[in-house]
Amino acid sequence: MAKMDGGKFFGAFRACSGIKDAVVLTHVPVGCNWGAAMFKTTSNQSDIRQACTVMHEREIVFGGEEALREALVRADKLYNTPLLAVVAGDAPAIIGDDIEAVIDSVVLNKEVVWMDAAGFKGTMREGYEEALVHLARLMEERNVIKNSLNLIGFCPDDFKVDADIKEIKRLLNSAGIQVNCVISNCSFDEFVNAPAAELNVVMGQ
């Protein structure tokens, strides 16, 4: 992991939390969960859609799969959202929790996407990009909207992100260009409909 880099876990968390009507379930010890929650300090404090398995010593020794199963069921009941994104950090990667098997063992009322985002496996940028690749599997083919584009690379915790997006949209609209989706600072429906854009413009991350 490079100096001053939060690692793959935080990058994946930032990508997933940018879908405004999704809930992010982190499968990590409580410290990692609070580290991820710190990204919300620069954004809307009234909109924290985050849950955690809160792995302790018992889960580290005997495995965290049961804690994950319980957290999945609780998050599904607690949050009325179309998407549940499971971001697994360092501890479950080290002890070998079978995340996919646990997800397959429960019946949920949401789309579920999960990713192995152990911080030691890559940089924050790599985590962000890989999370978007996982999420992109939810996209659906659409008829292309002429003179439209997607903006890629925004996060909800970016400094003054809402003001930046508003101004960029204003400038593009004045030129007759429609912003179809801002990734990842969008709704689930907007994300799923992203293929309708005529062009993708990468802004950062």
What are the pLDDT tens digits along the chain (205 aa)?
Answer: 555 567 899 999 989 988 989 999 999 988 787 777 777 766 666 777 888 999 999 999 999 999 999 999 999 999 999 999 999 999 999 999 999 999 999 999 999 999 999 989 999 899 999 999 999 999 989 999 999 999 998 888 888 888 899 999 999 999 999 999 999 899 999 999 999 999 999 987 5
Q: What is the CA radius of gyration of the chain?
A: 17
Residues 186 and 96 grouped into a single domain: no
* pLDDT at residue 160, rounded to an integer: 82
The residue among 113, 136, 159 that closes a domain is 136
| Per-residue pLDDT at 158 | 80
> Does the residue 127 lie in any domain?
yes
Q: In total, how many domains does the chain have?
A: 2
Q: What is the CATH number of the domain that holds 96?
A: 3.40.50.1980
Structural domain boundaries, residue 51: 7-136
> What DSSP line would sit under the chain, residue for residue?
--TT--HHHHHHHHHHHTBTTEEEEEESBHHHHHHHHGGGGGS-TT---EEE--B-HHHHHH-SHHHHHHHHHHHHHH---SEEEEEE-HHHHHHT--HHHHHHTS--SSEEEEEE--GGGS-HHHHHHHHHHHHHTT----PPPTTEEEEE---TTSTTHHHHHHHHHHHHHHTT-EEEEEETSB-HHHHHTGGG-SEEEE---
| The pLDDT value given to residue 161 | 84
What is d(CA 27, CA 188) in angstroms, rounded to the nearest whole number?
A: 22
Whether 157 and 192 map to the same domain: the answer is: yes
Q: Are 70 and 48 members of one domain? A: yes
